[in-house]
Chain A
Amino acid sequence: MSRPDVRTDLEQVFRSHYARVVAVAARVLGSRDQAEDVAQEVFLSFGRSTVPAGEAGGWLTVAATHTALNLLRSGRRRTAREEAADDGPSVVPDVADLVVTREERSAVRAALARLPHRQAAALVLRHSGLSYAEVATALELSPGSVGTTVRRAESVLLKELNRHASPE
């Protein structure tokens, strides 16, 4: 059986987008190691696809979001205890004045796993930098409903954060 070649733009797309794809998956999973596994799988799918390189960024972001959410819900992720052992400090590096404890982050991800898939995906895609129009296209939402969907998801997660808030 003859086979077509690996797509020639794969390495360039991989190098351009790998860090971002890991970050998207880590936003869902809270674990870099698992996020890298998801990224490998997503690039494998991309390598088999005919998605134009120009659309790779959006495609990979959406693919990473869905794959990571499926993993989060599947119960196959490692226990919180295992994650805590290899995760870094709990201070969010890019938001210096906000300190979110490990327990709070874990609670937020548990809440994320319980959200309806599309609502969770909209939240993650928006926080991963996709525009409202792109989120609407990817999830087959009406553009006008993206804000409402994201806002509701944030409210649910905020409730979890407040429930686990530090006593101080």
Chain B
Amino acid sequence: MRHPSEGVLRRLVDEPSGVTADDRAHIASCSTCLPALDTARAEARLVGAALATSTTVDTDAAWARFTTSDTATAPAPRPVIAAPGRGRWRPALRRPVVAALSAVVLVAGAGVAAANDWLPIFRTEQVDPVEVSTGDLVALPDLSAYGDVEVLQAPDPVQVADADAARERTGLDVPEVAALPDGVTGNPSYQAAGVVSGTFTFSADKAARAAAADGQALPPVPAGLDGTSLRLQAGPGVAAVWSQPTGVPTLVVARVVAPTVDASGGVDFETVRDYILSLPGVPDALSDQLRDLSKDGGTLPLPVPAALVTTSTADVDGVAATVLTSRNGLFAGVVWVEDGVMTGVAGSLSAEELLSVARGLR
């Protein structure tokens, strides 16, 4: 005899009409299911009690707070682009995630993250977005599978008191925002990170093991590649972050010294790059996009999640900038590189507002 699942029993506790008549009849006369139903009911009640919190609220006071905060009195800054698909409740929900992602894009993309990150192997002279899905982000290969990664210098990112302290620690001026957009208030927190550097030494042996684990054979290794080292360096970097009380960033302004790479051992950088891109585990689409990048390695690919973000270009004081806009319209970022220094402005604002911030930076 088949007993209904625990999920059906649980639904019977809340929504008997959602359970089929056959299941209800079975449960009502089953000596196994009835006690299980009682247990499900009791446990649901206990958890409900544990989660309940006394919350007497003053709605008038809350509305007053809402309307008097600069954030709330700002008129709706832009029409929201409806999210695709059936999840009509999803648009705002992804904002904290995307906002957090923006910080990752800015910081990791700028190379002040771990030295074994995929990105710092590209010298940065301009920024081109590389569209990858969130799945690709997760699947980006850790270079340690293909060789030895040694961190020579850690960036030690820290929060500092103010812009002066950030400059003292890094030698970089925190870009000064001329006028904060509507909805961004208060003082920012300042982050500073030092130089990160490390070496990646390609190992044909390790790469072969990684390929075998993926069920594939290692592509033929170009002569001289085994044992070739790349020296990676990035940073320092500084950022000013304005946040809402819950910690979700509303505006991030960051500046970092872009990553550089040196190859040693007699093999040029392009050979190393192209070979790494051909290894098993790198999604084909991403490989193709990376191959399209400039041959001299002068482009920093940004891990832009294609499912969430669209990209375009704009001019920031004569420099070509990349504009990233979340498909739900609630988040955007503007990134550009000038003289080896990457500057980014991102937050839960419209691209127009961020471009205005970008063009007004001092």
Contacts and interface: CB of A to CB of B under 8 A. Distances in A.
Nearest to B53: A26
Contact of A157 (B10, B50, B82, B247): B50
Contacts of B9: 147, 151
Interface stretch (B90-98, B191-199, B252-260): B90-98
Interface string B55-93: 101010011011001011001111110100011111111
Given A37-B246, A40-B69, A3 B77 contact: yes
A70 B47 contact: no
B45 interface: yes
Contacts, number: 200
Contact of B15 (A32, A76, A131): A131
B296 interface: no
B346 interface: no
B77 A63 contact: no
B298 to A, nearest CB: 35
A148 B65 contact: no
B220 interface: no
A147 B92 contact: no
Contacts of A22: 55, 57, 62
B11 A132 contact: yes
* A contact residues, range: 35 or more
Interface residues of B, number: 58
Interface in B317-342: 330
Contacts of B77: 3, 48
B48 interface: yes
Given A41-B246, A100-B49, A93 B78 contact: no
A42 B245 CA distance: 12
B96 A151 contact: no
B5 A40 contact: no
A106 B93 CA distance: 25
A146 B62 contact: no
A15 interface: yes
A155 interface: yes
A37 B245 contact: yes
5 contacts: A63-B93, A67-B248, A70-B248, A71-B246, A154-B10
Give the 5 A-B CB pairs with smallest separation, nearest first: A148-B7, A147-B7, A45-B92, A147-B11, A147-B10
Given A40-B62, A50-B82, 7 more contacts: A6-B76, A18-B59, A89-B54, A100-B50, A132-B14, A147-B9, A158-B43
